[in-house]
């Protein structure tokens, strides 16, 4: 019984992730070149569907990427960006490689939307269905082994 509960809790921890749906603005931006600017400042609209993220500036899509284990991997404004999403501070910190070798560290702050919600888990219905069938199977296997 203990193994079943343990496996169920681990499954929820592994599958759960923060929800990035919302509106973000640039909180800070530092580049290793004085010629590079971090315009526009926002607002950027993040639309997360499971592990994929789309970023819009107004009606124009300016980025696309993935989110997994609070790690962001984006192609944003024609630049390759990697970073972390911190659900406690509501900041996405991205390190972007610009054309010409310039590197900028940009912090995007969530100002509106589900990204502010403390209880958002981003668990999709497909994940719930998978967990309903897979977790009992794994639990049963552990019970047989012990």
pTM of the model as a whole: 0.67
- Reference 74, options 58, 101, 92; nearest CA is 92
DSSP state of 101: S
| pLDDT per position as a tens digit, 88-105 | 999 999 999 988 889 999
Q: What is the pLDDT of residue 34?
A: 83
pLDDT tens, position by position, 10-26 = 333 334 456 889 999 99
> pLDDT tens, 104-144?
999 999 999 998 886 544 444 444 444 444 445 454 444 44
CA 96 to chain centre: 16
Fold of 21-122: Lipocalin (2.40.128)
């Amino acid at each position: 019984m203990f193994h079943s509960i343990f496996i169920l809790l681990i499954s929820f921890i592994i599958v759960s992730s923060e929800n990035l749906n919302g509106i973000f603005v640039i909180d800070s931006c530092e580049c290793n070149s004085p010629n590079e600017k971090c315009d526009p400042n926002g607002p950027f609209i993040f639309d997360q569907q499971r592990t994929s993220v789309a970023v819009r500036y107004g009606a124009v899509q300016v980025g696309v990427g993935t989110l997994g284990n609070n790690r962001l991997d984006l192609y944003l404004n024609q630049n390759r960006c990697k970073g972390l999403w911190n659900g406690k501070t509501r900041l996405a910190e991205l390190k972007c490689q610009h054309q010409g070798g310039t590197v900028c560290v940009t912090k995007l702050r969530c100002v509106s939307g589900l990204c502010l919600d403390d209880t958002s888990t981003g668990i999709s219905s497909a994940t719930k269905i998978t967990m309903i069938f897979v977790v009992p199977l794994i639990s049963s296997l552990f019970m047989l082994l012990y």
